Amino acid sequence: MKIAVASDHAGFEYKERLKELLKELGHEVVDFGCFSPDSSDYPDFAYPAAKAVGEGECERGIFICGTGIGVSIVANKVKGVRAANCCSVEEAKLSRQHNNANVLTFGARLISFELAKEIVKVFLETEFEGGRHERRVEKIHKLTGL
């Protein structure tokens, strides 16, 4: 799977470490930045990464900032993106099963790296259930135009 990754300075270390995990799991990683721990602005990286997911260049995205909220807000402004800010494995699983989330966001200041790894694995392994959830996901895009 081709995965877009993005972070700001607060998420830089996690992003770099997760890139290695993703490669070990057999995924192709496209890094949209940031590229150092120096202070940076999350929209500069989250927006182009989200566009890559929304336009189908990448199948999924993993975006990290201090809380995960900023990158989630940016990602959800992009047509075709359904970003879920997850702090637990269960949230990641349900975001895929029920919402067909294609971007995972989380906060490096809020969860441990070990938990982040588990969340990422579940997010990538879990399939969308479809069924009754399909019409709800379709409705998101119909009502918002995104």
Q: What are phi and psi of 144, to 5 degrees?
A: -95, -20
Q: Which pLDDT band, with edges at 50, 70 and 90, does 146 fall under?
A: confident
Q: What is the CATH number of the domain that holds 54?
A: 3.40.1400.10
Structural contact between residues 3 and 61, judged by C-beta atoms closer than 8 angstroms: yes
**108 contact partners, CB below 8 Å, separation of at least 6:** 7, 10, 11, 13, 14, 64, 65, 66, 116
Across the range 95-124, mean pLDDT stands at 98
141 is annotated as an active-site residue = no
Q: Which pLDDT band, with edges at 50, 70 and 90, does 133 fall under?
A: very high
Q: Among 67, 111, 73, which Cα is nearest to 89's?
A: 111
Whether residue 14 is predicted with pLDDT greater than 90 in this model: the reply is yes
98 is annotated as an active-site residue = yes
Across the range 121-138, mean pLDDT stands at 96
Q: Supply the mean pLDDT for the chain.
A: 97
State how many domains the chain has: 1
Binding site residues for D-ribulose 5-phosphate, as ranges?
8-9, 66-70, 99, 109, 132, 136
Please state, in angstroms and rounded to a whole number, the distance separating the CA atoms of residues 59 and 9. 24
List pLDDT tens digits, range 39-90. 999 999 999 999 999 999 999 999 999 999 999 999 999 999 999 999 999 9
Structural domain that includes position 25 = 2-144
Catalytic residue among 34, 58, 65, 86: 65
